[in-house]
């Protein structure tokens, strides 16, 4: 593993690291914030999955998670959103290919050679982190924004014993019924929509739900509301009697100004689930 950078941050360390991924068959980069408590022993982990066009850097710089994470003693992992590199398939559109992995394992050419983000986040990266850093991998939580909110919800429902809590900011909530989803799931997974179901948070909420608490924040002035379909997820949560909260935040849009406004709430929510407060 290559250390790209390490900076002191709220008495902890904000690092950026690069490694050769066997799952994605290319080099992958991620950010990791270690709070000051990590100097004394292993600390719990919060995963932050980013949205379309983002890299590991967007949330690391803009979301404002580190200050509260340092107070409660929680590490924060900022993975990239897709495989990247000259040999990795891409598309001219911003919402397909590099920067738009959708947290699935692609089965269709040309994507299947590298686009295996489900297994990368689900297995390879946590194994690597646990072996290299002072992290308590028995205590994990997950959050994300937009495409990353979709990934956080579906990964939590697909790995039911791994996360103590899950939250999302403006998630792509019902991708099989949206242009932000049908295009990408069809390209990556093929035309059989039965194979899309594990990657649709609304369908999974209706079918299996979660045994852990959920927090979802959505801005009422989000310019992408018709693509995100938050009402479908809210209805599914209510129908399942899901332990959780769906909040429509008046006046907020889809930007990192929205995410950073409510990030402290989400970190504290996960800290409570992880027994840190």
User: What residues does each domain of the chain span?
Assistant: 2-273
Annotated catalytic residue 222:
yes
Residue 53 has pLDDT above 80, yes or no: yes
pLDDT (tens digit per residue) in 208-242: 999 999 999 999 999 999 999 999 999 999 999 99
pLDDT at position 277: 72
Within 83-162, strands assigned E span: 135-144
Nearest to 220 by CA among 182, 274, 178, 170: 170
Q: pLDDT-derived band of residue 252, with 50, 70 and 90 as boundaries?
A: very high
Annotated catalytic residue 112:
no
Catalytic residue among 174, 254, 266, 270: 254
pLDDT at position 172: 98
Q: Please state, for a pLDDT cut of 70, what percent of the chain lies above it.
A: 100
Q: What is the mean predicted confidence (pLDDT) over 54-63?
A: 98
Q: What is the mean predicted confidence (pLDDT) over 147-172?
A: 98
Annotated catalytic residue 265:
no
Q: What is the mean predicted confidence (pLDDT) over 180-193?
A: 97
Q: What is the mean predicted confidence (pLDDT) over 139-163?
A: 97
Q: What is the mean predicted confidence (pLDDT) over 33-60?
A: 98
pLDDT at position 82: 98
Q: Domain 2-273 is classified in which CATH homologous superfamily?
A: Alpha/Beta hydrolase fold, catalytic domain (3.40.50.1820)
Catalytic residue among 21, 50, 82, 146: 146
């Amino acid at each position: 593993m290559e250390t790209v950078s390490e900076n002191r941050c709220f008495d902890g360390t904000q690092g950026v690291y690069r490694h050769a991924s066997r799952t994605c068959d290319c080099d992958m980069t991620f950010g990791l914030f270690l709070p000051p408590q990590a100097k004394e022993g292993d600390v719990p982990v919060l995963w932050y999955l980013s949205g379309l066009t983002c890299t590991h850097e967007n949330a690391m710089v803009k979301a404002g998670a580190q200050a509260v994470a340092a107070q409660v003693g929680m590490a924060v992992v900022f993975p990239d959103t897709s495989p990247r590199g000259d040999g990795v398939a891409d598309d001219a559109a911003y919402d397909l290919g590099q920067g738009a992995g959708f947290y699935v394992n692609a089965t269709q050419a040309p994507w299947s050679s590298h686009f295996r983000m489900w297994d990368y986040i689900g297995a390879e990266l946590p194994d690597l982190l646990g072996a290299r850093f002072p992290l308590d991998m028995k205590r994990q939580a997950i959050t994300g924004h937009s495409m990353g909110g979709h990934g956080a919800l579906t990964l939590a429902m697909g790995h039911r014993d791994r996360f103590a809590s899950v939250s999302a900011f403006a998630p792509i909530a019902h991708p099989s019924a949206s242009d932000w989803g049908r295009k990408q799931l069809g390209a990556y997974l093929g035309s059989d929509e039965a194979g899309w179901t594990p990657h649709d948070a609304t369908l999974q909420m209706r079918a299996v739900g979660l045994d852990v608490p959920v927090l979802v924040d959505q801005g009422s002035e989000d310019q992408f509301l018709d693509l995100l379909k938050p009402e479908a997820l809210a209805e599914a949560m209510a129908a399942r009697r899901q332990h959780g909260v769906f909040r429509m935040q008046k006046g907020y849009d889809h930007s990192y100004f929205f995410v950073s406004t409510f990030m402290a709430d989400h970190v504290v929510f996960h800290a409570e689930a992880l027994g840190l407060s």
